[in-house]
Amino acid sequence: TQLLEQSPQFLSIQEGENLTVYCNSSSVFSSLQWYRQEPGEGPVLLVTVVTGGEVKKLKRLTFQFGDARKDSSLHITAAQPGDTGLYLCAGEGGGTSYGKLTFGQGTILTVHP
Amino acid sequence: SAVISQKPSRDICQRGTSLTIQCQVDSQVTMMFWYRQQPGQSLTLIATANQGSEATYESGFVIDKFPISRPNLTFSTLTVSNMSPEDSSIYLCSVESFGASGGANEQFFGPGTRLTVL
């Protein structure tokens, strides 16, 4: 069974601060997705990283895939109240896990004005 | 990406009854997934539903409790049978999309169905 450890579980910060969310595993993933979910809605895909060492930027969000494709991070610069939500990482594995995603435990981010 | 709708968006049900949740996609997809989520927590995969074959259930979930239909490539239903308060949760369907990012399996989610069992 592939496990994806996500941390921290809760993050409460002030507007303008920076933050980083981590996802770590002992397993190799062929790709890793990051989702954001707001109350009453389904998760929305933010980004997919595929190549080891890959870095993708989405405005103030920076996503990185580890060289060995076992870990990933999400860094938010100058957080805003609109960034508040549940952030989920999800890894895709091959073989018997084909087509399925392994989700991290999630990080609840609260950005205070 | 795909546009996914779910019905109902929420429901309050009595213990012992059953509820069928519908998931409609605006395009044809091969694989659909059903998840359960406690508010503020991560997603737990219930089963994978492929059109034309029996759904594949994850450990801890059985067909008698969560029967799934997949009559065509744009529609699926999940029934929560003989409900108890422990079934209170958010139920989400998702579909896969390949190719957008180097062939990675990305999933797109419906808005969810919030179920409360009294």
CA A110/CA B26 separation, integer angstroms: 33
User: How high is the pLDDT of residue A98?
Assistant: 63
CA A38/CA A105 separation, integer angstroms: 15
Tell me what percent of the residues of chain A surpass a pLDDT of 90. Answer: 80
Lowest-pLDDT range, A50-64, A86-100, B14-28, B100-114?
Answer: A86-100
Q: Which two tokens stand for residue A113?
A: 């004005």
Locate the DSSP E strands across chain B. Answer: 4-7, 10-13, 19-25, 31-37, 43-50, 56-57, 68-72, 75-80, 89-97, 106-109, 113-117
User: How high is the pLDDT of residue B116?
Assistant: 97
Instruction: Provide, as residue numbers in chain B, all residues whose Cβ is less than 8 Å from the Cβ of A86.
Output: 40
DSSP 3-state percent helix, strand, coil across chain A (nearest 5): 5, 50, 40
3-class SS at B28?
Answer: coil
Residue A97 pLDDT level (bands cut at 50, 70, 90): low
CA B69/CA A16 separation, integer angstroms: 47
Per-residue pLDDT of chain B (118 residues; tens, 9 = 90+): 789 999 999 999 999 999 999 999 999 998 899 999 998 889 999 999 988 888 999 999 999 999 999 999 999 999 999 999 999 999 999 998 765 666 677 899 999 999 999 9
Contact A40 B1 (CB under 8 A): no
* Cα A35 to the center of its chain, rounded Å: 6
Instruction: Provide, as residue numbers in chain B, all residues whose Cβ is less than 8 Å from the Cβ of A40.
Output: 111-112, 114
Contact B41 A90 (CB under 8 A): no
Question: Per-residue pLDDT for A75 more than 70?
Answer: yes
Q: At residue A82, what are phi and psi to the nearest 5 degrees?
A: -70, -10
Question: A98: nearest CA in chain B?
Answer: B105
Tell me what percent of the residues of chain A surpass a pLDDT of 70. Answer: 93
Q: Which two tokens stand for residue A40?
A: 């009453």
